[in-house]
Structure 1
Amino acid sequence: MGSLGSPRSTSFPNSKPSATQNGQASELETSPSPFPRNLLAEKTHMSRSESAKKKIKNKEILKPKIVTGDVGYVLEDVPHFSDYIPGVPSHPNPLQDNPAYSVVKQYFVDVDDTVSQKIVVKQNSKKGTHFRRAGPRQKVYFESDEVQACIVTCGGLCPGLNTVVRELVCALFDIYGVTKILGIKGGYKGFYSCNTIELTPKKVNDIHKRGGTILGTSRGGHDTVKIVDAIQDRGINHVYIIGGDGTQKGAAMIYEEIQRRGLKVAVVGIPKTIDNDIEVIDKSFGFDTAVEEAQKAIYAAHVEAESHENGIGLVKLMGRNSGFIAMYATLASRDVDCCLIPESPFHLEGEGGLLEFIEKRLKENGHMVIVVAEGAGQDLIADSLRNTNHDASGNKLLLDVGLWLSQKIKEYFSGKKKMRVNLKYIDPTYMIRAVPSNASDNIYCTLLAHSAVHGAMAGYTGFTVGSVNGRHAYIPYHRITEKQKKVVITDRMWARLLSSTNQPSFLSHEFIKNVKGEETDLGSHFYLENEYALCNGSITDAIEKM
């Protein structure tokens, strides 16, 4: 952990902001209106005067808060109300009077606490990037009775959505005494379609036992001005947004518009993706459940394959651009003979190709199980079959690599080889994301929700929450949306998978030549030392060097 100053300014020895904040925003243009009892039946008023709109446009967006200190210390801070609202009042945290927390040795997170992004360092390494540690502060910037919160879920389904909603409601109500909480139904478009429900601890009591989201969800529908108009008209001052990288980009735009208007509204993101492809954070909620649920499909494929002569069980799992579910499900199962992910190119025919390996494994064992991530092998599908369409979130619609691979395997063995195979294709794609979250994810969702509420009450805004090296932190939006996290095929985890399946890496020497010298977070040194072993599928020596 590092050190930093108060919410408004950060102080280190010889510290200096890397970018100055250009001026202060003016007083609030509109004070939050009372939360109407009949809000659910009312139609939201969207209009704004031309003068107000012109004034809003002239507000300047604050630059990212980056503070540097001695020995390469960098704090990537998150915005605070005090950055753009002069004289914003604070109050003692009511948590100190909560009997449930009377056993806690230290109620509050120290304002100097930070979380390091990198924990494996050398003796002469710089301190590197840090984030603000999540948790309750001594001072809050909202009285309990003034908080008017809303929660929205966007994008695809994921185990744990209902748990996050439940724990947000319970944290607001039980810890801070907040009683006015709205659920925005149907994703972003619910803000301006008046599609809302009131949320109470009683209403959300057992929703964590169900899959999906009680609020409903959708892709797209983001209109920043309309959404912020609705937030302002309804007097909402806590906005909790649960969704993936596209959703969080939208949340960042909402925060910028709110800051431009000078509103005292906390905008907090809880990142969600079943693919576990969000950068910086250790993992995304629902991932553990998805891996656990995928075991059922892999087990079924193994039983089918083992029960037939030359049986092949083929399982397609989620993983548009990142193969984390496929990799971890394969490692957990130990029944898989081959795992294919988007990050590791493969070729079908010829020496060292996938089809040759399948033939070899069938001759050795009489059966095999293949796990393929949905984004794998897209470059091998014929140009005429490629799909250029996109969904409402801007994601490219992928062709079914499982069906394509099934057909190629059948053609190979029924053609040149004259060898009969029994192939069973199992696609549990939507089954693994529609289930309730398991115990591990339920606990993780609780910590995420509590961190989000503590941050909003402490006056922070424009941030997401997540676990970084086992500690929960407040992370600027741009850090989790700037790129996707991918499986590092030069990392030890991928080597462990190759050792488990005993499959070749399918990497061509040309591919190795292209990536040679490229640095990765963990694996470049390992890769360059062991390129021959990885390329030829014999990784015993490579594992021994770890």
Structure 2
Amino acid sequence: MDDATLRFEITRLGECHVPSPMRGVRFVGDDERVLYHARLEDLGPWLQAHAEPPAMEVAGPRERLLFDPSSIACGIVTCGGLCPGLNDVIRAIVLSLRYHYGVTRIHGFRYGYEGLVHRHGHAPLDLTPEAVARINELGGTVLGSSRGPQDPAEMVRTLKDLGIGILFTIGGDGTLRGAHAIVEEAGRQGLSLGVIGVPKTIDNDISFTQRTFGFATAVTEARWATYAANAEAEAARNGIGLVKLMGRDSGFIAAHTVLVNSQVNFCLIPEVRFSLERLLGDLSARLQHRGHAVILVAEGAGQDLVAPTGGKDASGNAKYGDIGLFLRDAISDHFRRTGTEISLKYIDPSYMIRSQPASPVDSAFCLLLGQHAVHAGMSGRTDMVVSFWNHEFTHVPIPLAVSARKKVDPLGALWSSVLASTGQARDLW
């Protein structure tokens, strides 16, 4: 996106006049900003023009609130696939609403956006501090989840009937698009509704945020698969360990997993094309030289090699062909034709990874995301997502966050480090 089109202004529902009940904290001023650019050379054009460079609003508690905590009701919904840390974020929001602000009416909507539509019959849960006391120790989400859009008019009607003033939506880009649709519909109905997004995806592919929750846990758990693949490969003559990880369109999990232990020899991600012929040739050379190899592939890699499924999931995303099974069979066929005996072990830990409880690093991150989401909502902000940028928590408009999917830069430092770790050729095409 062109820097000139970056607009980080956050929509606000009105002037804040209610004193915050929080004590002993540093209140954030509405004029505090975090620079979008971190490099001096990127700031050059703005400095030369004596113009204010793009910057994000700093997250945190405000001294004045829009909503009266004694009269507001809030809602929480989790959507999309499972992700480590969902329960941590739910718990953080509930505890912050109750103990930081004194909000007592907190509804948890069941099974994603379905829970906001009466005809689906999912009664909301009453979320109290006691109800969420230990849910952070569990994987999954106590609210349940689902994919796919629902009618914004029906969802807003439910929120209006329950007197909801702030809705916290926890999910990825599809969830955030749904949240924006709710904001637009609330505006059409003249409803003053705060909608605050918390970025959830183990793929780490939401734009304008350095990290989404669940990503650190995914990399922590994925390392066990590469450990196992390497152990199996080293223990056999011409041993090959093949691991498939999640990553539909962005290869961040695969790239970072490579850097954990430096045991992976080939990393294949959606952002970098490869040819089967070149991969098999380099794999053969690796076996001749070292006698074993480990291959790590993201689920969205090499889709030009597999037959398209022609289908779509409930979120409207194209269903990808299984690149893991394709490579397993293609590698086996290749060495069978060349008369080379191999020992190939294929590992796909995807659903085991995403259903795990959050790691300590992710748990702390989830706590802060949840608290900052509450601070933003109580101060009357809406149509925004809590972000983490340049090592600070910030606010980003939802339309900007979903404007493009964040991807690994094939010319960037991360991919360069992956190539240095694996020793694979930059061009596998």
> Shorter-chain TM-score category?
over 0.9
Q: Contact 2:80/2:171 (CA < 8 Å) preserved in 1?
A: yes
Q: Residue 49 of structure 2 corresponds to which residue in structure 1?
A: none
116-125 or 239-248, which moves further after superposition? 116-125
Q: Residue 406 of structure 1 corresponds to which residue in structure 2?
A: 328
The one-character-per-residue Cα deviations of 1:424-454 (angstroms, maximum 9, x if unpaired) are 0000011110000001111111111111100
Q: Contact 2:149/2:315 (CA < 8 Å) preserved in 1?
A: no
How many residues are aligned here? 418
- SS at 2:76's partner residue? strand
Q: CA deviation at 1:166?
A: 0.3
Q: Residue 112 of structure 1 corresponds to which residue in structure 2?
A: 31
The one-character-per-residue Cα deviations of 1:354-399 (angstroms, maximum 9, x if unpaired) are 0011111111111111000001111012xxx321100000111111
For residues 26-37 of structure 1, the aligned pairs below 5 Å read none
The one-character-per-residue Cα deviations of 1:268-293 (angstroms, maximum 9, x if unpaired) are 11111110111110111000000010
CA distance 1:116–1:75, change in 2 (3 Å) = farther
Q: Residue 439 of structure 1 corresponds to which residue in structure 2?
A: 360
| Structure 2 CA distance for aligned equivalents of residues 325 and 433 of structure 1 | 12
AA at the equivalent of 2:88: T
Q: Contact 1:354/1:506 (CA < 8 Å) preserved in 2?
A: no
The one-character-per-residue Cα deviations of 1:200-219 (angstroms, maximum 9, x if unpaired) are 11110111111000000000
Q: Contact 1:74/1:128 (CA < 8 Å) preserved in 2?
A: no
Q: Contact 2:205/2:405 (CA < 8 Å) preserved in 1?
A: yes
Q: Residue 223 in 1 paired to residue 147 in 2?
A: no
Q: CA deviation at 1:147?
A: 1.4
Higher RCO by CA contacts (8 Å cutoff, separation 6 or greater) = 2
The one-character-per-residue Cα deviations of 1:234-291 (angstroms, maximum 9, x if unpaired) are 1111100011101100100101111222222211111111101111101110000000
For residues 389-400 of structure 1, the aligned pairs below 5 Å read 389-400=311-322
For residues 426-505 of structure 1, the aligned pairs below 5 Å read 426-505=347-426
Q: Residue 182 in 1 paired to residue 102 in 2?
A: no
| Structure 2 CA distance for aligned equivalents of residues 89 and 451 of structure 1 | 17
Q: Contact 2:72/2:163 (CA < 8 Å) preserved in 1?
A: no
Q: Contact 1:280/1:468 (CA < 8 Å) preserved in 2?
A: yes
AA at the equivalent of 2:36: Q
CA distance 1:198–1:335, change in 2 (3 Å) = same
For residues 251-262 of structure 1, the aligned pairs below 5 Å read 251-262=179-190
Q: What is the aligned-residue RMSD (CA, Å)?
A: 1.5
AA at the equivalent of 1:463: M
Q: Residue 518 of structure 1 corresponds to which residue in structure 2?
A: none
Q: Residue 292 of structure 1 corresponds to which residue in structure 2?
A: 220
Q: Residue 423 of structure 1 corresponds to which residue in structure 2?
A: 344
Q: CA deviation at 1:478?
A: 0.8
For residues 35-114 of structure 1, the aligned pairs below 5 Å read 76-82=8-14, 90-96=17-23, 102=24, 104=25, 107-114=26-33
The one-character-per-residue Cα deviations of 1:109-168 (angstroms, maximum 9, x if unpaired) are 012101211111227331531121111111101111111011000000100000000000
| Structure 2 CA distance for aligned equivalents of residues 343 and 216 of structure 1 | 32
- SS at 1:157's partner residue? coil
Q: Residue 132 of structure 2 corresponds to which residue in structure 1?
A: 204
AA at the equivalent of 1:94: P
CA distance 1:493–1:142, change in 2 (3 Å) = same
Q: Residue 236 in 1 paired to residue 167 in 2?
A: no
Q: Residue 124 of structure 1 corresponds to which residue in structure 2?
A: 44
AA at the equivalent of 1:149: C
| Structure 1 CA distance for aligned equivalents of residues 81 and 7 of structure 2 | 32
Which of 70, 78, 86 is equivalent to 1:145? 70
Q: CA deviation at 1:457?
A: 0.7
AA at the equivalent of 1:263: L
| Structure 1 CA distance for aligned equivalents of residues 57 and 187 of structure 2 | 20
- SS at 1:431's partner residue? helix
The one-character-per-residue Cα deviations of 1:181-230 (angstroms, maximum 9, x if unpaired) are 01100110111234211001111011111100000000014110000011
CA distance 1:280–1:73, change in 2 (3 Å) = closer
| Structure 2 CA distance for aligned equivalents of residues 499 and 194 of structure 1 | 51
User: Normalization by structure 2: what TM-score?
Assistant: 0.95
Q: CA deviation at 1:73?
A: 11
Q: Residue 61 of structure 1 corresponds to which residue in structure 2?
A: none
The one-character-per-residue Cα deviations of 1:431-485 (angstroms, maximum 9, x if unpaired) are 1100000011111111111111001111111111110111111110111111100
Q: Contact 1:187/1:221 (CA < 8 Å) preserved in 2?
A: no
Q: Contact 1:160/1:441 (CA < 8 Å) preserved in 2?
A: yes
Q: Residue 159 in 1 paired to residue 110 in 2?
A: no
| Structure 2 CA distance for aligned equivalents of residues 477 and 73 of structure 1 | 15
The one-character-per-residue Cα deviations of 1:285-311 (angstroms, maximum 9, x if unpaired) are 000000010011111111111111100
The one-character-per-residue Cα deviations of 1:462-517 (angstroms, maximum 9, x if unpaired) are 11111011111111011111110000010121111111111112355xxxxxxxxx
- SS at 1:247's partner residue? helix
AA at the equivalent of 1:78: I
Q: CA deviation at 1:79?
A: 0.8
CA distance 1:479–1:74, change in 2 (3 Å) = closer
Q: Residue 133 in 1 paired to residue 58 in 2?
A: yes
Q: Residue 321 in 1 paired to residue 242 in 2?
A: no
| Structure 2 CA distance for aligned equivalents of residues 128 and 495 of structure 1 | 29
Q: Residue 298 of structure 2 corresponds to which residue in structure 1?
A: 373
| Structure 2 CA distance for aligned equivalents of residues 335 and 195 of structure 1 | 49
Which of 93, 96, 99 is equivalent to 1:171? 96
Q: Contact 1:228/1:258 (CA < 8 Å) preserved in 2?
A: yes
| Structure 1 CA distance for aligned equivalents of residues 44 and 420 of structure 2 | 34
Q: Structure 1: any 5+ residue segments left out of the alignment? A: 1-67, 83-87, 97-101, 509-546
| Structure 2 CA distance for aligned equivalents of residues 438 and 253 of structure 1 | 32
Q: Contact 2:16/2:380 (CA < 8 Å) preserved in 1?
A: no
Q: Residue 356 of structure 1 corresponds to which residue in structure 2?
A: 281
| Structure 1 CA distance for aligned equivalents of residues 115 and 386 of structure 2 | 23
| Structure 2 CA distance for aligned equivalents of residues 94 and 153 of structure 1 | 28
Q: Contact 2:35/2:53 (CA < 8 Å) preserved in 1?
A: yes
User: Normalization by structure 1: what TM-score?
Assistant: 0.75
Q: Structure 2: any 5+ residue segments left out of the alignment? A: 47-51
| Structure 1 CA distance for aligned equivalents of residues 206 and 44 of structure 2 | 29
Structure (1 or 2) with the larger CA radius of gyration: 1
| Structure 2 CA distance for aligned equivalents of residues 157 and 362 of structure 1 | 37
| Structure 2 CA distance for aligned equivalents of residues 387 and 468 of structure 1 | 37
